[in-house]
């Protein structure tokens, strides 16, 4: 089987180790004999986004996000086309915020979003941020599990209709909120860095299955030995005093 990923703004949106997510997808494909192609797309680069099975955007600092948002807005039609063509989309932090209506940064400047979803994001001021370990109870397409990560965001995301999961420990979309992220079956947005996928192999495999679906329909992935992943996650769950 073959699979392709377009990693957008890899040189700008690579805060907090988000690049690790790509490493995880590569490894889990290789173990299963799936041929994975990873392409990058920087500012001004011409790429047919709808030709890819998975699209990924990580998080970036305010300054970097300010540099690229014009380019991103210019690709609104191309991203819509990719969504229509069944491309699965993974968005971390800044990438997640961009898919909403707008983003107001710590200095009060408003940046227009792609407007695909109803939610919007406001950063109150530079002094207050949601920072720390986070545990989220996810129930995605019938599969339930606890996801762990590290969040570090000033932006408060408001108006998410379909969150990724319920916050067990940490902040989530807003200060001390009940819900984290966004998931509608095709787009997964989250504030979870860490990076997200090494300790959450369920999410990694969900993304792979979703990506493969576009070409091959429903596929079952061969299970991998996730002993280290499970232990790493259990260390954090124990730290947060959460029963598995």
Partner 1 sequence: MRTTLTLLFTKFIRWMLKRLGRGGSLPGSIALKLDPQFLKHFTYPNKVIMVTGTNGKTTTSNMIYETLAKSGLKVIGNRRGDNLKAGITTLVAANAGLNKRVKADAMVIEVDELNVPKVISDVKVDVFVINNFFRDQLDRAGEMETILRKLEAVLPDFTGTLVLNGDDPNVMRLALTAKQASIYTVGVARNAMSSNTSDEASEGKYCPVCDCALHYHFYQYSHIGKFYCPNHDFGDVTLQLEAAAVDFEKSCFEVAGVRYKAPQNALFSIYNCMAVLGCLDVLQIDRQYAAQVFETFALNDGRMEMFSLDGKDCLLNLVKNPTGANETMKYIQRDQEAKALVIVLNDNDQDGTDISWIWDAQFERLMSADVRTIICSGLRAYDLALRFQYGGFEGRLLVKPDMQEAVQELKKQPEHLYVIATYTALQPMRAVLRRNT
Contacting positions for partner 1 (CB under 8 A): 11, 14-20, 23-24, 26-27, 61-63, 67, 126, 129, 131-133, 150, 152, 193-195, 198-199, 228-229, 231-232, 235
**φ and ψ of 110, to 5 deg:** -95, 130
Nearer Cβ to partner 1, position 19 or 32? 19
Nearer Cβ to partner 1, position 24 or 135? 24
DSSP labels, 209-235? HHHHHHHHSS-PPPP---HHHHHHHHH
Task: For CA atoms 134, 172, 139, 24, give the dihedral sign.
Answer: negative
Q: Which residues are catalytic?
A: 93, 193
User: Nearest approach, Cβ of 142 to partner 1 (angstroms)?
Assistant: 27
User: Nearest approach, Cβ of 60 to partner 1 (angstroms)?
Assistant: 9
Nearer Cβ to partner 1, position 82 or 171? 171
**φ and ψ of 157, to 5 deg:** -95, 125
Q: Is 129 annotated as a binding residue?
A: yes
Nearer Cβ to partner 1, position 87 or 121? 121
Neighbours of 55 (CB within 10 A): 24
User: Nearest approach, Cβ of 19 to partner 1 (angstroms)?
Assistant: 6
Terminal alpha carbon distance of the chain: 34
**φ and ψ of 188, to 5 deg:** -120, 115
Helices (H) and strands (E) in the chain, counts: 6, 14
User: Nearest approach, Cβ of 20 to partner 1 (angstroms)?
Assistant: 4
What Rg, from alpha-carbon coordinates, does the chain have? Answer: 17
Binding-site members for substrate are 129
């Amino acid at each position: 089987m073959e699979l392709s990923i377009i990693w957008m703004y890899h040189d700008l949106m690579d805060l907090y180790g988000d690049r690790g997510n790509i490493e995880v997808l590569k490894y889990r494909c290789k173990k299963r004999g799936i041929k994975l192609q990873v392409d990058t797309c920087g500012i001004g680069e011409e790429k047919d986004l709808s030709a890819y099975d998975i699209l990924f955007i990580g998080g970036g600092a305010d300054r970097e996000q300010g540099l690229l948002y014009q380019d991103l807005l210019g690709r609104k039609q191309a991203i819509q086309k990719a969504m229509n063509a069944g491309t699965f989309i993974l968005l971390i932090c800044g990438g997640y915020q961009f898919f909403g209506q707008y983003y107001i940064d710590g200095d009060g400047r408003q940046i227009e979003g792609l407007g695909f979803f109803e939610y919007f994001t406001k950063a109150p001021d530079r002094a207050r941020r949601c920072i720390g370990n986070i545990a989220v109870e996810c129930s995605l397409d019938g599969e339930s599990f606890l996801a762990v990560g590290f969040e570090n965001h000033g932006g408060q995301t408001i108006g998410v209709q379909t969150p990724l999961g319920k916050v067990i420990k940490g902040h989530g979309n807003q200060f001390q909120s009940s819900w984290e992220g966004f998931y509608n079956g095709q787009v997964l947005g989250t504030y979870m860095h860490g990076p997200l996928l090494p300790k959450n192999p369920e999410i990694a495999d969900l993304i792979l299955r979703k990506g493969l679906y576009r070409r091959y329909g429903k596929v079952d992935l061969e299970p991998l030995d996730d002993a280290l992943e499970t232990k790493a996650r259990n260390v954090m769950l124990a730290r947060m005093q959460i029963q598995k």
